């Protein structure tokens, strides 16, 4: 019991002294350096959070439409017992899909390849991920009867609008075995956009019956959509153990996902080097702070405080500074991510204002305009309508953890300076 009280008393004065040092602040000589260190942590965390959020947003524009609209989470190419599959993969959406690639256009004119997907008529109700990714720009999403839904860019390239007919060309052998083209026309009910140009420029959705009329029955598979797509490989493996020919979306896009993961890793490492610079600055700041407090610290050790406990004071101070700086940095980073589009618009406005000033100078001096208007993310050059962002809680947690560790380690490492002089030497010099 006495040991517990002694331990409690020991940590109480450590926390108390750390709080005093933080609230009272350092002397004038080191106050500015410490403020820079604290701001450095906040700015570094904000930068990393904003970079990760924007990168996640851009990668989401590529990945999300692929796994929700094109590949689906899991594909099963066997006849399935739906009750057994639902036991293996609970809380999932299971539905048949017909997949084929056909020519669209006129037999005597220009033709394009289209990725045709035959889906259930109620796909928007049973697959929320699919419904979230599909933005109906014109018309409506309807697969009943003779209706199809076409990608916006595909329709634009063919000059088609909702209400027009789109013609599919299939190659069918006649009675004597000669293969000849056969045209089938369907009415366009609506145009969709996912933000992925490859999908918007090639995909057509129709009912399962219509798709089967245009393709072979062998191209039918069962699609499984999960609540969390990150478990796709796990459940696909469970289905394979039951004898099903199951594949997750990563099987079809492994090269793409590996490239995106490597890109993100290298960028995070590059931005993470900022923390090494901040850590060195923190070590210097804490060393100056400890040197200024050497008399106080020597007096503490003279009345019974252990060197390790005194070092824990600075470790705790470093951790608190790291956590507080990270908290401000997270808020700032989230604000930057949320308003990244506005920030780019302000930058664009500033650049164009400067350019207009130089153009005005050139015109009044009898010259020609030198600069043209700048558009950083022009729709003519980029297939995006704004700066996307996606803040992931787990990534933010690791950023805060890393920043706090760097700050705490810098403080604890700086406290090694206490070993250079004994308590007697410090008190005598003071």
Estimate to the nearest angstrom the gap between the alpha carbon of 240 and the chain centroid: 30
Q: Which two tokens stand for residue 430?
A: 């003071």
CA dist., res. 1 & res. 337, Å (int): 52
Instruction: Dihedral sign for Cα 387, 392, 393, 399, please.
Output: negative
For the stretch 224-269, pLDDT in tens is 999 888 888 899 999 998 888 899 988 887 777 777 778 778 877 7
Question: Dihedral, CA atoms, 50, 54, 56, 62, nearest 10 degrees?
Answer: -170
CA dist., res. 348 & res. 352, Å (int): 6
Q: Residues with Cβ < 8 Å from 262, sequence gap 6 or more?
A: none
3-state secondary structure of 245: coil
pLDDT at 426: 46
Q: Please determine, for residue 39, whether its predicted confidence score (pLDDT) is greater than 60.
A: yes
Query: Backbone phi, then psi, for 150, in 5-degree steps?
Result: -115, 145
pLDDT band at 381; cut points 50, 70, 90: low
Segment (H or E) for 426: helix 423-429
Query: From residue 164, how far is each of 186, 191, 207, 213, 384 by CA, in Å?
Result: 8, 11, 18, 21, 27
Lowest mean pLDDT among 16-25, 129-138, 207-216: 16-25
3-state secondary structure of 356: helix
pLDDT band at 85; cut points 50, 70, 90: confident
Q: Please determine, for residue 429, whether its predicted confidence score (pLDDT) is greater than 80.
A: no
Q: Is 22 exposed, middle or buried (0-12, 13-18, 19+ CB in 10 A)?
A: middle
Q: Please determine, for residue 187, whether its predicted confidence score (pLDDT) is greater than 90.
A: yes
Averaged confidence pLDDT in the chain: 79
* pTM for this predicted structure: 0.72
CA dist., res. 150 & res. 162, Å (int): 9
Angle of the 254-292 helix axis to the 294-302 helix axis, nearest 10:
80
Where do the structural domains in the chain lie, given as residue ranges?
2-59+259-429, 93-225
Task: Judge contact between 55 and 338, C-beta under 8 A.
Answer: no
Q: Work out the number of other CB atoms within 10 angstroms of the CB of residue 261.
A: 11
């Amino acid at each position: 019991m006495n040991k517990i009280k002694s331990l409690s008393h020991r940590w109480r004065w450590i926390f108390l002294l750390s709080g005093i040092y933080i609230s009272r602040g350092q002397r004038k000589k080191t106050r500015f350096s410490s403020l820079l260190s604290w701001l450095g942590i906040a700015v570094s965390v904000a930068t990393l959070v904003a970079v990760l959020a924007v990168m996640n947003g851009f990668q989401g524009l590529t990945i999300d439409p692929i796994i929700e609209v094109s590949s689906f989470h899991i594909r099963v190419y066997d006849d399935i017992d739906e009750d057994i599959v639902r036991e293996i993969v609970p809380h999932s959406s299971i539905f048949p899909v017909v997949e084929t690639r056909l020519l669209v256009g006129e037999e005597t004119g220009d033709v394009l390849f289209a990725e045709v997907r035959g889906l259930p008529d109620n796909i928007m109700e049973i697959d929320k991920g699919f419904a979230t990714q599909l933005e109906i720009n014109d018309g409506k999403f309807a697969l009943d009867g003779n209706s199809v839904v076409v990608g916006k860019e595909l329709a634009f390239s063919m000059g088609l609008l909702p209400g027009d007919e789109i013609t599919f060309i299939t190659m069918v052998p006649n009675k004597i075995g000669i293969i000849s083209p056969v045209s089938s026309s369907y009415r366009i009910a609506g145009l969709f956009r996912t933000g992925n140009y490859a999908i918007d420029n090639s995909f057509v959705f129709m009912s399962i019956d219509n798709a089967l009329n245009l393709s072979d029955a062998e191209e039918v598979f069962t699609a499984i959509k999960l609540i969390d797509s990150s478990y796709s490989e796990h459940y696909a493996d469970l289905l394979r153990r039951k004898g099903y020919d199951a594949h997750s979306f990563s099987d079809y896009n492994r090269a793409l996902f590996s490239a995106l993961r490597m890109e993100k890793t290298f960028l995070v490492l590059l931005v993470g080097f900022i923390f090494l610079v901040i850590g060195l600055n923190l070590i210097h700041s804490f060393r100056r702070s400890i040197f200024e407090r050497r008399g106080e610290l020597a007096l503490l050790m003279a009345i019974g405080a252990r060197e390790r406990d005194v070092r824990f004071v600075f470790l705790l101070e470093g951790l608190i500074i790291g956590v507080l700086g990270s908290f401000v940095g997270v808020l700032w980073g989230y604000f930057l991510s949320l308003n990244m589009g506005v920030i780019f618009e302000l930058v664009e406005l500033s650049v164009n204002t400067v350019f207009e000033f130089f153009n005005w100078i050139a015109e009044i001096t009898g010259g020609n305009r030198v600069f043209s208007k700048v558009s950083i993310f022009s729709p003519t050059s980029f297939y995006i309508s704004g700066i996307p962002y996606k803040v992931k809680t787990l990534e933010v947690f690791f950023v805060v953890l890393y920043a706090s560790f760097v700050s705490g380690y810098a403080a604890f490492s700086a406290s090694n300076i206490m070993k250079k002089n004994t308590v007697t030497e410090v008190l005598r010099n003071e």
